[in-house]
Amino acid sequence: MKKNILSFAAAIFTAFVVNAQAPAASTATVAPENPNAPDAVYVNEVLDYGTIEYDADGTREFKFKNTGKEPLIIYSATGSCGCTVPTAPKEPIKPGETGSIKVHYDTKRVGSFEKTITVASNGKTASKTLKIKGTVKAAATPAATSTVSPTPGH
């Protein structure tokens, strides 16, 4: 009897979970795409620093153009870690105008790197991921100085 009750309860629970997982797309309404929406078209979506010196200038920029018919507003630009600091324009970018997102990478971190910048805007693509990559050389070591003392008596 206990097995029957347990089996019945398991079947009811499974049916409940399956129904709860049913897609809601049939009842949801999808907002129509705005044909006039701003659109940031980037010159490069990946910036390759190449191989750079330790503590070199780590500032680069992603250039873009608003190809839409409405002003482009960038809400935020966020680096994937504290070593990557992006700075986005605060003013709206008018249709046909260009802008840039500056990014500073901390070049006191030796070795290869690959980081992302996530840009949130009112554009056709509301969230865009940009990437930086490169290699930072090891810091130059100071030349060793000779500490040999002269031989006594010479």
The CATH number assigned to the domain holding 54 equals: 2.60.40.10
Answer whether residue 60 is part of any domain. Answer: yes
Q: How confident is the model over 89-98, as pLDDT tens digits?
A: 999 999 999 9
Distances (CA, A) of 98 to 34, 40, 43, 60: 21, 9, 10, 16
103 neighbors 61 (Cβ within 8 angstroms): yes
Split into its structural domains, the chain has a count of: 1
Domain presence at residue 26 = no
Answer whether residue 19 is part of any domain: no
pLDDT at 75: 97
In a domain, 3, yes or no: no
What is the band of 22 on the pLDDT scale with cuts at 50, 70, 90? very low
**Residue 114 lies inside a defined structural domain of this protein:** yes
| Higher-pLDDT residue of 151, 105 | 105
User: What domain range is 74 assigned to?
Assistant: 40-136
Please state, rounded to an integer, the average pLDDT across all residues of the chain.
Answer: 84
Residue 16 lies in a domain: no
Q: How confident is the model at residue 84 (pLDDT cuts 50, 70, 90)?
A: very high
Q: Is the whole-model pTM more than 0.85?
A: no
**How many angstroms separate the CA atoms of 41 and 106, rounded?**
27
Report the residue count for the chain: 154
Residue among 35, 123, 117, 118 at smallest CA distance from 72: 123
Q: Which of 37, 22, 49 is nearest to 123 (CA)?
A: 37
